[in-house]
Amino acid sequence: MRKSKARQAIIDKAAKLIEKKGYSNLNVNELAYAAKVSVGTLYHHFPKGKIDILAEVMSQRTEWFVSEFNLQLGVEKLLEKGRSLDENLRWIFKKVIELRRHDQQFLLALQIELLSNPKEYNEFVKRYQITDGLQQAMGVLSEVLMKSAKSEIAGLDATRENVDRIQRVVGLLMTYQIIFPHYFGDDDEFVDLASRVFFEILKS
């Protein structure tokens, strides 16, 4: 098996095992067997083991999420519908939850790594330069916000300054709603909460 095929086989099998058994139960020896590679080959491609593999799984799944999100929710598509900022906001939140809930086990795996070793997690993010996909979605939201702000929001400069804070806070809340359904109530209740948080930060 060529290296490139072996590497992708490990990633594909890891994704299936994480979905089936959860990240905490992912065993490197079992993964190597499932991918039909030696343990040595697995560590050759992923020297840090599970965290390296998770990074690649998330990177590929994030690419899918961003592609699908942009296909369904491009900035121009949102603006051409003539909805208010609040309506666009709620639509985006619901769509992110719908699409990203497919990655529930993988987002949970990221939280496991974060809580078990924050320093290693930060290095992990820097090395692979990935996000959980929510940042890309919030980036689309930011564009919509900037284009609609002139007519709906006073203080455009202040709005720009608050975008990063909004992305971090709302993104974190949304991650937990995706991982733990009903953590903040049902999805409609969560969208109400996230919208209130969004506008409170925007006005601060």
Residue-level pLDDT, tens digit, the chain, 204 residues? 445 899 999 999 999 999 999 999 999 999 999 999 999 999 999 998 998 899 888 888 877 877 777 776 665 666 666 677 788 788 888 888 888 888 899 889 888 888 887 777 666 666 554 455 555 555 666 666 666 555 555 554 555 567 777 777 888 898 899 999 889 999 999 999 998 988 888 777
* One domain, residues 77 and 172: yes
Q: How far is the CA of 21 from the CAs of 17, 34, 93, 158, 185, in angstroms?
A: 6, 14, 28, 46, 26
> For the chain, what is the domain count?
2
Q: Where are the beta strands (DSSP E) in the chain?
A: none
* One domain, residues 17 and 87: no
* One domain, residues 31 and 93: no
Nearest one of 162, 169, 172 to 203, comparing CA atoms: 162
Any idea which residue has 């208010």 for tokens? 84
Residue 169's CATH number: 1.10.357
In which domain, by residue range, is 16 found? 1-47
